[in-house]
Amino acid sequence: MNTFRRHKLHEVATKPKNTLQFNEQTAPEALQAIIDNLSAILREARSEQREIVYLCIGSDRYIGDSLGPLTGSLIVENAKIERVYGTLEEPIHAFNLKPALKDIQKTYHHPLIICVDASLGAKEQVGDVLFVDAPLMPGKALERMLPETGDYHFQGIVNYLDPLPTSQFLNDTRLHTVMKLSRLIARVITESDQQASQ
Beta bridge partners, 121, equal 160
Question: Which position has the higher pLDDT, 123 or 129?
Answer: 129
141 has pLDDT over 50: yes
Q: Which of 14-28, 51-65, 126-140 has the highest mean pLDDT?
A: 51-65
For residue 80, what pLDDT band results from cuts at 50, 70 and 90? confident
Using a pLDDT cut of 70, give the percent of the chain over it.
83
For residue 181, what pLDDT band results from cuts at 50, 70 and 90? very high
For 19-33, how does the pLDDT look when each residue is reduced to its tens digit (9 = 90+)?
899 999 999 999 999
**Cα 142 to chain centroid, rounded:** 17
pLDDT, mean over the chain: 86
- The rounded distance, in Å, linking the Cα atoms of 137 and 146 is 7
For residue 146, what pLDDT band results from cuts at 50, 70 and 90? confident
Alpha-carbon torsion (150, 154, 156, 161), positive or negative: positive
193 has pLDDT over 70: yes
Q: What is the rounded average pLDDT of the residues 43-62?
A: 95
The domain made up of 49-196 has a fold known as Rossmann fold (3.40.50)
For residue 42, what pLDDT band results from cuts at 50, 70 and 90? very high
For residue 163, what pLDDT band results from cuts at 50, 70 and 90? low
- pTM exceeds 0.85 for this model: yes
Question: Which position has the higher pLDDT, 139 or 52?
Answer: 52
- Under 8 Å between Cβ of 68 and 62: no
The domain limits of the chain are: 49-196
Question: Which position has the higher pLDDT, 195 or 94?
Answer: 195
- The rounded distance, in Å, linking the Cα atoms of 174 and 42 is 32
Query: How far, in Å, are 73, 97, 135, 138 from residue 147 at the CA level?
Result: 23, 8, 10, 7
